[in-house]
């Protein structure tokens, strides 16, 4: 029976479910609380041996190997708090002979409690000696003083502790014991540079390094504890313990007296050797990041080659990209911080003495080729590591771009090198790689960073060494904004693009990516054009000057560059600039491309208009999120329209402006029917500005000036005609815009209506320059376009007042005086011809009421207000220059004072009082308006028209129109009043 009962009990224990992690942790913490309480009671009773006994029982719970690292750490912290709060102060503050206690605790039964107690007593000894004089006698309870020769130096104590902790080789238990050793001794390490019993700084360094190396080995061994199926679980647990391993490096970086020379000689080689030799990806990645973050930037400057060489030797599973990026970001943050401090120093210095102005500095030692080291290492990594994807390469280059722009803002060749390498890697990558959003975003950052950095002048991109517009005569050309471009040993790869590698890389992106870059360029250019002239370009503060003969930087003795330069607002003032902006950077906004139209959709193969792109891109599918709605299209095209206004020369010479506009017109003409409705109108007004500029030239012969103006007007006429031919609807069988967004094209004027307005504006511009034939031709073009295209009654009602308003402003047209007293007919009565045509168009309107209203307005063009006759220039008419000479009358002298570039009219000067006035025509228009009003059936509308006619008749009478008399006014007024008060429908008559 007893055997049966015993076997049953054993079976019950075997069948019992295993304890969970929570239960095991709770049991251990319960033991800790009990033993900690007993330890405190012993301490209060000053019983050291009992205190050690209860501490040993408490520490014995750390012998377990069943807890997870997270739970083991929680148990460790509970014990650590009790030891630090009770036992350690008891040993330091009490009158104990610590050397005897150090030997006594070594007799503890278990190695784990024994080592913890040895570390605790040893740390107390170090702390007591740090507070007092370690070489003096210790005070014991009986008041005796031991021989000072028996006191061991601290360096031997550290060596003994380091040897003793090797007794625990279990990965987790050994790791925590060494962590406890590091924590307890970190504040009492010797830092003397000379040899002493307490040790030296070198002893502390070797102690921390050896302890760290052993901790790392134990941490790596955790990966191989347990079954292979739990690999991911162990990796997660190891990552939870990485802070414990990294604490040793943090303490090493905090040692007083550690400089970069000692760091480079003793510390870093040992650390890198351990990191490379461990061959563990988790350890290598984390420890490299810790080294980068905890040690000062000055140390990294001097040891950058060692760090990068070690990074290249890491395991292939290590994310070397992130390691290099972290190091670069550390330097960027340092440079930013130093520049901010420099700015503050400049402000305080300028306030005292303007001669003491200092330049912003990046803080990077001039003898450290920071960029070159990174460039060489990154280039080697990209070429050597086949596992590097295009996204990894782009991420590395983005960080290097940030380094170049922040630390070397004047080195355009650095940026150009980065873009060149990116272009090569993207060209070798598969087309599908660019469809990945993260990859595309990284490449976009490469292109957007320079735009942000050169925001005061986007055309700085044309100064890249690889640009076709850069002059290379033994040196790299410096830009007009004082950008220092120093020679670089890397051979420059030239490009056929105006922006060099930047454009080449841009062309490799899909349509959506190029559109984002184009928008960024356009916004940057527009913003730069609006800056105050006192705004400072951050790239315009070089600390060195460039000798143009040798292209070698030299120290400048001129202190003028130390002050903030003043830059003018941005304009596009060169043909190369127009080619770069409209032909390369913003081409997707200006014209349809092979892989996308104005909406972002793929163009059918037969309608592709661009040969710049790879044919393989034409069949790429389009992400629906990349398609634009009508509001987005309008916003983009408005940006292009604003860019058009920036195309002008700095000095405003019209011949140069014409060349720029001719180059621009070539790009705008390829935009398609939708784009030109946004871009050609501002282009035409830019031409008007140039025409006005010609009138201010005094050095040009008048015949030559007239020829150039006529050539410009012909150019304007062709441009407006191209706009008038644009289609208004896109569903008439044209596949180019078959899949347009909702409301596509709404809110825009019809091309013909817009063209009419532009023709009339051109006529007014020609009138201001005195070209009668050009003004007449523009007006006739507007009339012809009206007759051919305007069919809507509302559009006709809107256009006719524009014709009549423009006609009244034309002062250079020939006029017939047959209707005036004593007048004779003249040949070429241009004004009467087009005025009669306007009256005829008024009579062709659909509604009688509309005809009547327009005829009332038309009467005004036959009795224009008096104006001073302006200068009249006709084809073949010479206009002489005004020259001030002594003896001239006062009028000529005043004219010279008002402007030496003004011109004196010598053409036929007509009488300003009677020009363009024909009373018979006025009365005829009003009679026609009255006839149309009589035909209106609506009484209320009819009365309204009568009132308008009477009002205009009275105005003409008050302005002394010879054909308008007072006789019919009173009778007609009475009839009109009777008409208003009754429903009489008899027609009214108007007599002269």
Could you tell me the pLDDT band of residue 695, with boundaries at 50, 70 and 90? confident
pLDDT at 140 > cutoff 70:
no
Encode 606-626: b = buried (16+ Cβ within 10 Å), e = exposed.
Answer: eebebeebeeebbebebeeeb
810 contacts 764 by C-beta, under 8 angstroms = yes
| Mean pLDDT within 54-79 | 92
Q: How far apart (Å, rounded) are the C-alpha atoms in residues 93 and 301?
A: 45
pLDDT at 680: 94
Q: How far apart (Å, rounded) are the C-alpha atoms in residues 845 and 227?
A: 95
Output 474 or 867, whichever has higher pLDDT: 867
pLDDT at 989: 60
pLDDT at 30: 95
Kindly report the backbone phi and psi dihedral angles of residue 42, in degrees, each rounded to the nearest multiple of 5, phi listed first.
-65, -40
pLDDT at 785 > cutoff 90:
yes
pLDDT in tens, 610-631: 444 444 444 455 677 778 888 8
Q: How far apart (Å, rounded) are the C-alpha atoms in residues 561 and 541?
A: 7
pLDDT at 664: 94
Token representation of residue 987: 């027609």
Q: How far apart (Å, rounded) are the C-alpha atoms in residues 440 and 432?
A: 11
Mean pLDDT computed over every residue of the chain: 79
Token representation of residue 268: 């870093």
pLDDT in tens, 738-763: 556 767 777 788 899 999 999 999 99
499 contacts 461 by C-beta, under 8 angstroms = yes
Strand partners, 771: 873
Q: How far apart (Å, rounded) are the C-alpha atoms in residues 30 and 722?
A: 91
| Lowest model confidence (mean pLDDT) among 135-149, 152-166, 273-287, 597-611 | 135-149
pLDDT at 428: 86
Provide the angle, in degrees to the nearest 10, between the axes of the packed helices 281-294 and 201-221.
150
| Mean pLDDT within 401-411 | 90
Kindly report the backbone phi and psi dihedral angles of residue 472, in degrees, each rounded to the nearest multiple of 5, phi listed first.
-120, 100
pLDDT at 60 > cutoff 70:
yes
- Give the rounded percent of residues in the chain with a pLDDT score beyond 70: 76
Output 696 or 717, whichever has higher pLDDT: 717
| Lowest model confidence (mean pLDDT) among 103-117, 531-545, 761-775, 948-962 | 531-545
pLDDT in tens, 635-649: 999 999 999 999 999
| Lowest model confidence (mean pLDDT) among 463-467, 626-630, 676-680, 801-805 | 626-630
Sequence-ordered alpha helix ranges (H) in 279-319: 281-294, 297-312
CA angle 627, 630, 632 (to 5 degrees): 65
| Cβ atoms within 10 Å, residue 194 | 6
Q: Is 97 exposed, middle or buried (0-12, 13-18, 19+ CB in 10 A)?
A: middle
| Lowest model confidence (mean pLDDT) among 124-138, 357-371, 565-579, 884-898 | 884-898
DSSP 434: G
Strand partners, 863: 917
pLDDT in tens, 263-313: 999 999 999 999 999 989 999 999 999 999 999 999 999 999 999 999 888
pLDDT in tens, 161-190: 999 999 999 999 999 999 999 999 988 888
Question: Shortest CA distance to 521 belongs to which of 439, 592, 591, 583?
Answer: 583
Helix, strand, or coil here: 580?
Answer: helix
Could you tell me the pLDDT band of residue 141, with boundaries at 50, 70 and 90? very low
């Amino acid at each position: 029976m007893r055997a049966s009962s015993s076997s049953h009990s054993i079976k019950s224990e075997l069948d019992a479910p295993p304890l969970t992690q929570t239960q095991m942790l709770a049991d251990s913490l319960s033991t800790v609380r009990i033993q900690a309480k007993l330890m405190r009671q012993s301490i209060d009773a000053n019983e050291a041996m009992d205190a050690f006994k209860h501490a040993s029982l408490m520490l014995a719970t750390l012998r377990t190997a069943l807890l997870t690292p997270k739970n083991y750490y929680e148990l460790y912290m509970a014990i650590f708090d009790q030891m630090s709060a009770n036992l350690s102060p008891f040993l330091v503050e009490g009158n104990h002979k610590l050397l005897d206690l150090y030997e006594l605790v070594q007799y503890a039964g278990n190695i784990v409690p024994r080592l913890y107690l040895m570390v605790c007593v040893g740390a107390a000894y170090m702390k007591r000696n740090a507070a007092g004089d370690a070489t003096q006698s210790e005070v014991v309870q009986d008041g005796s003083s031991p021989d000072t020769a028996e006191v061991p130096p601290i360096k031997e104590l550290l060596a003994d502790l380091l040897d003793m902790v090797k007794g625990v080789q279990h990965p987790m238990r050994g790791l925590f014991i060494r962590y406890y050793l590091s924590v307890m001794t970190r504040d009492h390490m010797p830092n003397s540079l000379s040899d002493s019993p307490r040790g030296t700084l070198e002893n502390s360094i070797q102690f921390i390094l050896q302890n760290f190396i052993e901790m790392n080995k134990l941490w790596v061994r955790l990966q191989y504890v347990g079954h292979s199926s739990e690999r991911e679980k162990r990796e997660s647990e190891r990552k939870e313990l990485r802070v414990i391993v990294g604490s040793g490096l943090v303490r090493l970086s905090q040692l007083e007296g550690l400089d970069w020379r000692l760091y480079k000689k003793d510390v870093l080689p040992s650390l890198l050797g351990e990191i490379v030799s461990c061959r563990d990806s988790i350890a290598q990645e984390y420890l490299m990041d810790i080294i980068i973050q905890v040690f000062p930037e000055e140390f990294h400057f001097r040891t950058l080659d060692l760090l990068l060489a070690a990074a290249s030797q890491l395991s292939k599973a290590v994310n070397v990209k992130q390691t290099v990026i972290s190091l670069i970001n550390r330097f960027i943050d340092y440079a930013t911080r130093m520049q901010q401090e420099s700015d503050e120093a400049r402000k305080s210095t300028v306030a005292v003495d303007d001669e003491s102005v200092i330049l912003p500095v990046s803080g990077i030692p001039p003898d450290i080729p920071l960029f070159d080291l990174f460039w060489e290492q990154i280039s080697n990594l990209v070429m050597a590591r086949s596992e590097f994807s295009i996204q990894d390469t782009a991420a590395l280059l983005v960080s290097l771009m940030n380094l170049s722009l922040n630390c070397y803002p004047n080195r355009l060749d650095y940026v150009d090198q980065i873009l060149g390498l990116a272009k090569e890697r993207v060209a070798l990558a598969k087309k599908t790689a660019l469809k990945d959003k993260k990859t595309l975003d990284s490449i976009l950052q490469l292109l957007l960073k320079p735009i942000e950095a050169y925001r005061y002048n986007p055309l700085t991109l044309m100064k890249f060494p690889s640009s076709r517009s850069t002059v290379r005569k033994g040196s790299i050309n410096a830009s007009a904004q004082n950008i220092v471009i120093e020679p670089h040993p890397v051979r420059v790869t030239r490009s056929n693009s105006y922006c060099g590698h930047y454009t080449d890389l841009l062309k490799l992106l899909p349509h959506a990516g190029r559109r984002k870059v184009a928008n960024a360029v356009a916004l940057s250019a527009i913003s730069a054009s609006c800056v105050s002239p006192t705004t400072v370009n951050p790239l315009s503060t070089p600390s060195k000057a460039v000798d143009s003969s040798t292209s070698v930087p030299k120290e400048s003795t001129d202190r003028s560059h130390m002050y903030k330069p003043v830059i003018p607002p941005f304009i596009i003032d060169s043909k190369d600039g127009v080619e770069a902006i409209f032909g390369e950077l913003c081409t997707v906004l200006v014209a349809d491309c092979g892989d996308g139209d104005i909406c972002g959709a793929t163009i059918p193969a037969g309608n592709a208009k661009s040969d710049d792109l790879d044919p393989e891109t034409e069949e790429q599918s389009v992400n629906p999120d990349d398609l634009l709605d009508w509001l987005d299209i309008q916003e983009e095209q408005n940006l292009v329209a604003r860019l058009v206004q920036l195309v002008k020369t700095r000095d405003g010479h019209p011949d140069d402006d014409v060349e720029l506009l001719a180059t621009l017109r070539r790009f705008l003409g390829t935009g398609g029917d939708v784009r030109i409705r946004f871009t050609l109108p501002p282009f035409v007004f830019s031409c008007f500005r140039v025409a006005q500029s010609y009138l201010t030239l005094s050095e040009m012969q008048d015949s030559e000036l007239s020829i150039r103006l006529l050539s410009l007007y012909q150019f304007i006429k062709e441009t407006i005609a191209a706009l008038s031919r644009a289609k208004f609807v896109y569903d008439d069988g044209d596949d180019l815009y078959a899949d347009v967004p909702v409301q596509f094209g709404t809110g825009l004027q019809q091309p013909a209506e817009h063209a009419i307005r532009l023709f009339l504006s051109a006529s007014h511009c020609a009138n201001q320059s005195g070209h009668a034939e050009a003004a007449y031709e523009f007006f006739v073009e507007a009339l012809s376009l009206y007759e051919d295209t305007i069919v809507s009654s509302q559009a006709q009602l809107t256009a006719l007042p524009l014709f009549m308003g423009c006609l009244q402003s034309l002062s250079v047209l020939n006029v017939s005086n047959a209707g005036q007293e004593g007048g004779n007919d003249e040949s070429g009565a241009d004004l009467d011809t087009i005025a009669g045509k306007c009256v005829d168009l008024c009579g062709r309107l659909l509604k009688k009421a509309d005809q009547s209203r327009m005829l009332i307005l038309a009467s005004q063009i036959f009795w224009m207000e008096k104006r001073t006759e302006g200068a009249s220039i006709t084809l073949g008419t010479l206009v002489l220059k005004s020259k001030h000479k002594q003896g001239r009358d006062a009028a000529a002298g005043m004219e010279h004072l008002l402007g030496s570039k003004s011109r004196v009219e010598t053409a036929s000067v007509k009488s300003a009082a009677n020009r363009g006035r024909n009373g018979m025509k006025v009365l005829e228009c009003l009679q026609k308006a009255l006839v149309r009003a009589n035909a209106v059936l609506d009484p209320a509308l009819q009365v309204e028209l009568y009132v308008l006619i009477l009002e205009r008749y009275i105005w003409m009478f008050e302005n002394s129109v010879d054909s308008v008399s007072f006789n019919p006014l009173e009778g007609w007024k009475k009839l009109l009043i009777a008409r208003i008060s009754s429903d009489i429908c008899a027609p009214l008559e108007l007599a002269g």
